[in-house]
Amino acid sequence: MAEPTLPASVGIVTIAVALLGPMAGPYAVIVLSALAGALWALAATPTESRRAGALLMLRLVLTAVVLTGGVAWALEAQYGWPAHQLLAPVAFGVGMGGDRWRALVDVLVAAVSRRIGGGA
C-alpha cells in the first residue's frame, strides 16, 4: 500500500500554523494583502523576465511583512486606530509602493543626517 503524500506547500503551511499558532492569521492577512498590492506594482514596472517579476513580488511581500506591524502599531499609538484592523490596508499600501521605497528611504536618510548634522 502506498503512503499518502502531501504537496510540499501544504506541509509548509501546516508547519507554519503549528509554530506560529495565533500569529498565523495576521501574517496570512499581511501576505495576501501585500501580494495584491505587489500585483499593482508589478503591472506598472517593466520587468525583463518572469524571474525578475517573481523576485520583485518576493521583495515587496517580504518588505510588507517586515514593515506592516511597525507601521500599524505607530498608527495605533498616534491616532488610536486599532492595529489589527490596519494590517491589510498597510500591507496593501506597502506592496503597492513598489520600487518607490528606495526614494523614500533616501529622503528619510537625508532628513535624519541634516537633523543630526544641524544643516539647513
pLDDT digits over 13-52, tens only?
777 777 767 777 788 899 999 999 999 989 888 889 999 9
What is d(CA 39, CA 87) in angstroms, rounded to the nearest whole number? 18
Decide if 86 contacts 76 (C-beta within 8 A): yes
pLDDT at res. 15? 77
CA 81/CA 38 separation, integer angstroms? 24
Asked if residue 103 belongs to a domain, the reply is: yes
49-80 pLDDT, tens digit per residue, is 999 999 999 999 999 999 999 999 999 999 99
**Which of 3-12, 90-99, 109-118 has the lowest average pLDDT?**
3-12
In a domain, 10, yes or no: no
Residue that the C-alpha cell 501544504 belongs to: 10
Tell me whether residue 66 is in a domain.
yes
Domain presence at residue 11: no
In a domain, 2, yes or no: no
Query: What pLDDT is stored for residue 14 in this prediction?
Result: 75
Q: Is residue 61 part of a domain?
A: yes
Match 499558532 to its residue by C-alpha cell. 21
Domain that holds residue 80: 24-117
Residue 40 lies in a domain: yes
Residue 8 in any domain: the answer is no
Q: How many domains does the chain have?
A: 1
